[in-house]
Amino acid sequence: MRHNFLPRLAAAAALAVVLAAGTPAPVHAQEIKIAVAADVTSIDPHFFNLFPNNNIAEHIFDKLVQMDADSRMIPGLATSWKTIDPTTWEFKLRKGVKFHDGSELTAEDVAFSIDRVGQIPNSPGPFVAYTKAIVGKQIVDPYTIRFKTAAPHPLMPNDLSTIYIVSKKVATGASTEDFNTGKATIGSGRFKFVRYVNGDRIELVRNDAYWGEKPPFEKVTFRIIKNEAARVAALLSGDVDAIEQPPIADLPRLKADPKFVVTSKISHRVIYFNFDFLDRSSPFVTGKDGKPLAKNPFLDLRVRRAFSKAINRQAIADRVMEGQATPSGQLVSEKLFGNVPGLKADAYDPEGAKKLLAEAGYPDGFNLTIHGPAGRYVNDEKIVQAVAQMLTRVGVVSKVETAPMAPYSGRASKQEFSFHMVGWGASTGEASSPLRSLLATFNRDKGLGAVNWGRYSNVKVDYVIEQAIQQVDDDNRRAMLQQATKLAMDDLGLMPVHFQYTIWATKKGIAYTPRTDEYTLAFQFRPAKG
């Protein structure tokens, strides 16, 4: 029986832009320079399930199943897939695909890549949630592979749309550093690796032997420019041809300038805050006297609910995001599979927040340091500052500390924070992605909770998630994903704030195909027609 592909749409994006005068340099089809907002921590496609890393991996490596610009599954290295029986999936591979070293891709490389995902040491955010269902593999022939699961797993194509395929010959025994230096960076993607300078740039060159449509640009340089004003300045001066995440405030001015083109699309990324769920004196919470509290206040649902009521999500969307966001009380937007119709966030109710804090034993509130990333998400620092101000108004006197994403995520993954902001895009196009990764109890053996940095744990939520992903019937699976979502949101296992929009700005003469997954892909930039 053939799999019914899950719809995959989402919320993504518009952002803004500071403009100044400047004359862009002419477009050269040979090369494109793109400024991205967040640092890349590794070129190893299996090391860290972090968006900036995956964005680069999309250029160098391929996956069995790809996603189009609207987050719908399409054939990649696999030309087709089907179920052989309730617990066996078969994938047919594209023939004649060559790795960058000229060797041919076969089922052996696919099997090796699936195994490697679970063998990466010290990953702060592994991909294992998407491979753990596989309990056995059978290579039928060089172009056919079967995956055995312990129970029905209808999300197999969705899951494998997240796993990059590497060369067994090259990657056997290779370390993450070998990928960063280029020694092992041999994929089958549209571009070949040239150079990675941490914190500065990634350089690629077109793979003229690529099996699919060839990109229009021969060379690509991704410049890592975390400061939004600096990104705009680079575009205005002609240092780069395109940027992502231009600052929101001056978007109208950018749109009005005929030398530039602005493209936007709604994203499926939810911006949310994690609570500390560890039974300890939470590290960045103190009493009004500045002394650590003996008990972690976030273990009390009343405190978490007070925080949610204290946050004016609509004000953040309207004022901080200048209309480029939609408030949210759940994990996936209304166009994605598993969204709960009508499930909204707590209404803004500061008096209700104060009452709940008093009921929980904090009539005078407490002191808190909120942590957030700097330059990773749209207006991330401003969002954290706004939340701090709102919490202070209800008695939780808050200060803010932010940091670039690489060191920030490293600390967050080690549970060093009390209350921190992060974002998640539903990479599989449906609700199991955030449920499995963000809210399932952390379990390395099961591959669950890989990015559950708050260490939330609820046995009822876990049970429903695990049952949901085994449901072959789409309606049953949707209902159970919705049930798991409602349970987790009622318990505030994390606190959603909004879905963000994504914006790209380019020089005139360059067009971009905007994506719901927010990826900035060099092969989707092309010289504009006319």
Does residue 211 lie within any of the structural domains? no
Q: Interior CA angle at 43 toward 38 and 49, to 5°? A: 65
Residues 427 and 317 in one domain: yes
Q: Is 311 helix (H, G, I), strand (E, B) or coil?
A: coil
Please name which of 23, 41, 17 lies closest in space to residue 256, comparing C-alpha atoms.
17
pLDDT tens digits, 302-352: 999 999 999 999 999 999 998 889 999 999 988 889 999 999 999 999 999
How many structural domains are present in the chain?
2
Q: Long-range contacts: 119-124, Cβ < 8 Å, 24+?
A: 120/44, 120/46, 120/47, 120/176, 123/46, 123/47, 123/48, 124/48, 124/409, 124/410, 124/413
Q: Which residues share a beta bridge with 465? A: none
Residues 6+ apart with CB under 8 A from 404: 39, 226, 373, 374, 375, 376
Whether residue 355 is contained in a domain is answered as: yes
CATH number of the domain to which 100 belongs: 3.90.76.10
Pair (447, 309) in one structural domain: yes
Tokens coding 55:
């964005």
End residue of a domain, out of 190, 218, 247: 190
Burial class of residue 282, CB neighbours in 10 A (0-12, 13-18, 19+): buried
The string over 180-189, giving b where at least 16 C-beta atoms fall within 10 Å of a residue's C-beta and e elsewhere, is beeebbbbbb
Three-state secondary-structure class, residue 74: strand
CATH of the domain at 394: 3.10.105.10
- With cut-offs at 50, 70 and 90, classify the pLDDT of residue 261: very high
pTM (predicted TM-score): 0.77
Please report whether residue 517 resides in a domain: no
Q: Which are the contacts of 411, defined by CB distance < 8 A and separation ≥ 6?
A: 371, 403, 417
Of the ranges 234-238, 335-339, 414-418, 506-510, which one carries the lowest mean pLDDT score?
A: 335-339
In a domain? residue 137: yes
In a domain, 61, yes or no: yes
Phi, psi of 214 (to 5 degrees): -80, 140
Q: Between 248 and 349, where is the model more confident?
A: 349
Q: What pairing do the DSSP bridges indicate for beta strands 31-36 and 510-512?
A: unpaired
What are the structure tokens assigned to 298, written together? 């976030």
* Residues 484 and 337 placed together within one structural domain of the fold: yes
Give the alpha-carbon dihedral of 280, 282, 285, 289, to 10 degrees. 30
pLDDT value at 529 more than 80: no
**Do 350 and 479 sit in the same domain of this protein?**
yes
pLDDT tens digits along 167-195: 999 999 999 999 999 999 999 999 999 99
- pLDDT above 50 (res 29): yes
pLDDT level of residue 268 (50, 70, 90 thresholds): confident
- Reported as a pLDDT band with limits 50, 70 and 90, residue 10 is very low
Measured CA to CA, the distance from residue 130 to residue 428 in angstroms comes to 9
Residues 326, 500: Cα–Cα separation, whole Å: 7
Q: For the residues 135-152, what does the mean pLDDT come to?
A: 97
Domain containing 168 equals: 44-190
pLDDT tens-digit map of 442-477: 998 888 998 999 999 999 999 999 999 999 899 999
259 contacts 237 by C-beta, under 8 angstroms: no
Q: Report the mean per-residue pLDDT for the chain.
A: 91
Residues 77 and 165 in one domain: yes
- Burial label for 343, CB within 10 Å (0-12, 13-18, 19+), is middle
In a domain, 475, yes or no: yes
Question: Is the pLDDT reported for residue 5 higher than 70?
Answer: no
Residue 359 CA, chain-centre distance (Å), reads 37
Q: What is the pLDDT of residues 74-103, one digit of tens each?
A: 999 999 999 999 999 999 999 999 999 999
The 10s digit of each residue's pLDDT in 11-20 is 222 223 223 3
**Tell me, what's the pLDDT at 530?**
53
| pLDDT for the residue 504 | 95
Give yes or no: residues 184 and 324 share one domain. Answer: no
- The residue out of 174, 190, 206 marking a domain boundary is 190
Question: Looking at residue 9, what is its pLDDT?
Answer: 25
C-alpha torsion 26→30→33→39, nearest 10:
180
- Claim to verify: residue 293 and residue 414 sit in the same structural domain: yes
Do 338 and 474 fall into the same domain? yes
Residue 24 is assigned to a structural domain of this protein:
no
384, 372 in Cβ contact below 8 A? yes
What is the structure's pLDDT at 393? Answer: 98
Encode pLDDT of 389-410 as tens digits.
Answer: 999 999 999 999 999 988 999 9
pLDDT exceeds 60 at position 23: no
- Domain match, 316 and 456 both: yes
pLDDT of residue 250: 77
Does residue 330 sit in the same domain as residue 455? yes
Report the alpha-carbon distance of residue 211 to residue 98 in Å, rounded. 8
How wide is the angle at C-alpha 54 spanned by C-alphas 49 and 56, nearest 5°?
150
pLDDT at res. 3:
38
Helix/strand/coil (H/E/C) assignment for every residue in 234-292: HHHHCCCCEEECCEHHHHHHHHHCCCEEEEEEEEEEEEEEEECCCCCCCCCEECCCCCE
Specify whether 86 is located in the same domain as 171: yes
Please answer whether residues 406 and 198 qualify as being in contact, where contact means their C-beta atoms are separated by less than 8 angstroms: no
CB 405 within 8 A of CB 38: yes
Proportion of the chain above pLDDT 90, given as a percent: 81
CB 220 within 8 A of CB 34: yes
> Per the domain annotation, does 372 fall within a domain?
yes
Q: Give long-range contacts, CB 8 A cutoff, 24+ apart: 182-186.
A: 182/43, 185/43, 185/60, 186/99, 186/100, 186/101
Is residue 172 domain-shared with residue 296, that is, in the same domain? no
Last residue of a domain, one of 129, 160, 190: 190
The pLDDT assigned to 28 comes to 45
